[in-house]
Amino acid sequence: MLLTIDIGNTRIKCAVFEQNTLLEKIIFNEKEALFFFKKIFKKFNKITFSISSSVGKLEKECFDYIEKHSKLIIVSHQLQFPFENLYETPATLGIDRMVLAAGASFAFPNKNCLIIDAGTCITYDFIDANKKYHGGAISPGVNLRYKALHNYTAKLPLLKKEEIDYFIGNTTNKAIHSGVINGLTYEIEGFISQYFHKYQHLTIILTGGDADFLAKRLKSTIFANSNFLLESLNFLFNYVQTQND
């Protein structure tokens, strides 16, 4: 069994795989981490390997516990990836974005892929049919947009996302919701349109914590999978194992 660990900016997401089958997904925050890792290894005592990618924080005590109960691979820029990296500053490229690009190259071989990760930030990453990673874009995620409007103004309230069916907000709260949710939807559609203009044959993958919320609002044909990063870690682990054989 394999434990995949995605340490994000706000949450830690884990999944247990038996070969390529996802058995269970667990989500928790940094303060709860050690408790949940103990729970995971107790329930799945056949976990022998683990692989972790991180853009956030995890206490050393947790890493020590994971390494005590499994052979841990920490994804870094030094790891061998299954694509050619054309990013001009490869050392600054987020590990999560590299893992997603790797996953796209495995899940959709010989396809042009745009991976949109809707989490704390919205990241756009493009890998072409020849397994060349080109880069993409980074913008604020849904919750960051709400927080920015509240934190950098004197009177705007802090709201949480909700489903809306209007374009014109006739109250301050509705105007904020329209600006955040419709604005982000138009942004994503705009990026997709630009990529389609250059690459007619394009596979679009939408993932991240807000993937399901956004997917129903998008007109474009997309492959929505909130577990894609965890699955990509599983793909990458298998790739690393074959390179070491």
Global confidence as pTM: 0.93
Distance CA 233, CA 240 (A): 10
Distance CA 117, CA 97 (A): 8
Distance CA 219, CA 193 (A): 11
Phi and psi of 35, rounded to 5°? -60, -45
Domains of the chain: 2-74 (3.30.420.40), 84-233 (3.30.420.40)
Please tell me the predicted confidence (pLDDT) of residue 245.
65
Which residue, among 163, 147, 167, has the nearest Cα to 214 in the 3D structure?
163
Q: From the first residue on, what is the mean pLDDT of each consecutive set of 10 residues in the chain (245 residues)?
A: 93 93 94 94 96 91 95 94 96 96 96 95 97 97 97 96 95 97 96 93 94 90 91 95 79
Asked if 96 is an active-site residue, the reply is yes
Among candidate residues 6, 64, 96, 212, the one labeled active-site is 96
Cβ proximity of 62 and 33 under 8 Å: yes
H or E element in which residue 116 lies: strand 113-118
Distance CA 19, CA 198 (A): 37
